[in-house]
Amino acid sequence: MKSMLAFVLCLASIVVAQAQLKPPTETAMDRFLRYAKIDTQSQEDQSTTPSTRKQFNLANLLAKELTALGAENVRVSEFGIVYAMVSGNLADNSKVPVVGFIAHMDTSPAVSGENVHAVIHKNYQGGDIVLPKDPTQIITVAKNPLLKTLIGDDIITADGTTLLGSDDKSGVAEIMTMIDTLKQNPQIKHGTLAIAFTPDEEVGTGIEKFDVKGFGAKVAYTVDGEELGEISDETWSARTATITFQGKSTHPGTAKGIMVNAMYAIADYLGRFPKDMLPETTEGRVGFVHPYAGVIDVESSNLKVLLRDFDLSGLDAKEKMLRDMVAQTAAKFPEVKITIDVKENYKNMKEVLKNHPELTNNAMEAARRAGLKPFLKPIRGGTDGSRLTFEGLPTPNLFTGGTNFHGKLEFNSRRGLEKSTETLINLVQIFAEKS
């Protein structure tokens, strides 16, 4: 009975504490809408970081805003990465680990991020959402059951001509709003926080330039996930294979007995991919192989293939299969020289994070305190955190409230942004409480 009373009192004090919070100077929603307008699309296969200069526009703006919010040591690196520190307000900040928060500024090269006009569907009352500038773009309840949880919320979409850029300007806006809220509410106790906003996440190269040591965090979170409550401490292990088919080109008029057309060999190889091991036929924890790009030419053809699996043994098996397929095609086309080169991209971060269960546990607790039902979801992809985790900075991924990334049907909502922000504020408090 006594513990029950203590529990109720404790709960009441949490509710009171939240109720008494002074609002941030700008809401997560307003902040997000401002950032969404800034075109930060990254580009594949560029030799520079950031891949597009325009990403500096948001980086420099964020640096200015961080300084205005009282952050310290604010800097934008030559690679367009924004770093900052938010000092703790504890009697002894050294007792609490420096927790990092990271979001990426760029948007996917897949869909235009120029002239993003966000549309707010106020007080959503159910039903499909037709995007105003292109009525063929429809967010249907059938394909987005998440909509059923958003009745009465203000849903944010693009206008049908671009992506929204919720991935990952939601994460950026939520981290900034957390900092703002902490500044307005010194009664919220927290340790020192390290902040970073990165370019080129979507093309996978920005994180290569990340200064883990200079960042100064002991542990970190990327804020780059999807629906409310979704926390990820597991990603693919990933490799990329390049298969090259070397033929011999000559003038077709005098080609008899000389020409070796590599195109037939690449066609044969493509035909060998098992239909049940492709992205379009797999989900959940099942990995895939994915031929995604190539060059088709008489003299030299090549094919790029993604290999993905949550388990390293499964990944090894997929690599072996691609090599076996090379041998089979080579036997059929002895005059075409076929080579395969496999590169490691990243590994499942769970291999490291299993030794840091408090990171996931604290995030789950933070989400629960925000009134959410947290759940773990393995990511069928990689995050900047996958790489950081293996560089000594354990970094699981937190939700942002957004969904349908990399497409015109992307959306988030006011509650999505606010509850994600609230979770971040709870999280820094939990780290302080537990230390």
Active site residues: 106, 201
Near Zn ion by CB under 5 A, which window of 142-150, 174-182, 220-228, 247-255? 220-228
**Minimum Å distance from CB 28 to Zn ion?**
17
Is the Cβ of residue 168 or residue 174 nearer to Zn ion in the bound state?
168
H/E run at residue 214 = helix 212-215
Partner residues linked to 290 by β-bridges: 306
Q: Pick from 153, 224, 309, 319: which binds Zn ion (CB under 5 A)?
A: 224
Q: Name the helix (H) or strand (E) containing 242.
A: strand 237-246
Beta carbons of 395 and 349 less than 8 angstroms apart: yes
Give the binding-site size for Zn ion (rule: CB under 5 A): 3
> In this chain, which stretch among 31-39, 78-86, 222-230, 363-371 interacts with Zn ion, using CB under 5 A?
222-230
Q: How many CB atoms lie within 10 A of CB 266?
A: 27
Q: Whose CA is closest to 176, among 204, 152, 207, 197?
A: 197
Checking phi first, is residue 401 left (phi over 0); if not, alpha (psi -120 to 50) or beta? Answer: left
- CB-wise, 65 or 167, nearer to Zn ion? 167
Residue with smaller CB distance to Zn ion, 36 or 325: 36
| 132 SS3 class | coil
Query: CB of residue 345 vs Zn ion: minimum separation in angstroms?
Result: 16
Which of 216-224, 241-249, 270-278, 310-318 is the region at the interface with Zn ion (rule: CB under 5 A)? Answer: 216-224
Q: How far is the CB of 198 from Zn ion (least distance, A)?
A: 10
CB closer to Zn ion out of 294 and 378: 378
Report the nearest approach of Zn ion to the CB of residue 381 (Å): 9
Helix (H/G/I), strand (E/B), else coil: 108? coil
Q: How far is the CB of 296 from Zn ion (least distance, A)?
A: 32
Q: How far is the CB of 421 from Zn ion (least distance, A)?
A: 17
**Beta 397-398 vs 230-232: how paired, if at all?**
antiparallel
- Under rule CB under 5 A, residue 230 binds Zn ion: no
> What does the alpha-carbon distance between residue 297 and residue 289 come to, in Å, rounded to a whole number?
23
Q: Which is nearer to Zn ion, 200 or 365 (CB)?
A: 200
Whether the link from the prior residue into 92 is cis, omega within 30° of 0, is no
Q: Which residue type sits at 368? A: R
- B/e letters for 172-204, b = 16+ CB within 10 Å, e = fewer, are bbbbbbbbbbbbeeeebbbbbbbbbbbbbbbbb
Q: Are 215 and 99 in contact (CB under 8 A)?
A: no
Q: With CB under 5 A as the contact rule, which of the stretches 45-53, 149-157, 219-227, 365-373 interacts with Zn ion?
A: 219-227
Q: Select 174 or 224, whichever has its Cβ closest to Zn ion.
A: 224
In degrees and rounded to multiples of 5, residue 89 shows phi and psi of -125, 30
Beta strands 99-104; 193-198: pairing state = parallel
Beta bridge partners of residue 309, listed in sequence order? 237
Q: Which residues contact 205 (CB under 8 A, 6 or more apart)?
A: 46, 49, 51
Residue closer to Zn ion by CB (options 39, 168) is 168
We find the least distance from the C-beta atom of residue 40 to Zn ion, in angstroms, to be: 12
Residue whose pair of structure tokens reads 């994460």 in the numeric block: 171
The three-class DSSP label of residue 25 is: coil
What is the distance, to the nearest Å, from the Cα of residue 13 to the centroid of all Cα atoms in its chain?
Answer: 35
**Residue span binding Zn ion (CB under 5 A) among the ranges 76-84, 85-93, 224-232, 337-345:** 224-232
Q: Which is nearer to Zn ion, 167 or 309 (CB)?
A: 167
Beta carbon of residue 226, minimum distance to Zn ion (angstroms, whole number): 9
Site string for Zn ion, 135-174 (x = CB under 5 A): --------------------------------xx------
Write the interaction track for Zn ion spanning residues 399-428; mark x where CB under 5 A is met and - where it is not. Answer: ------------------------------
Contacts to Zn ion by CB under 5 A:
167-168, 224
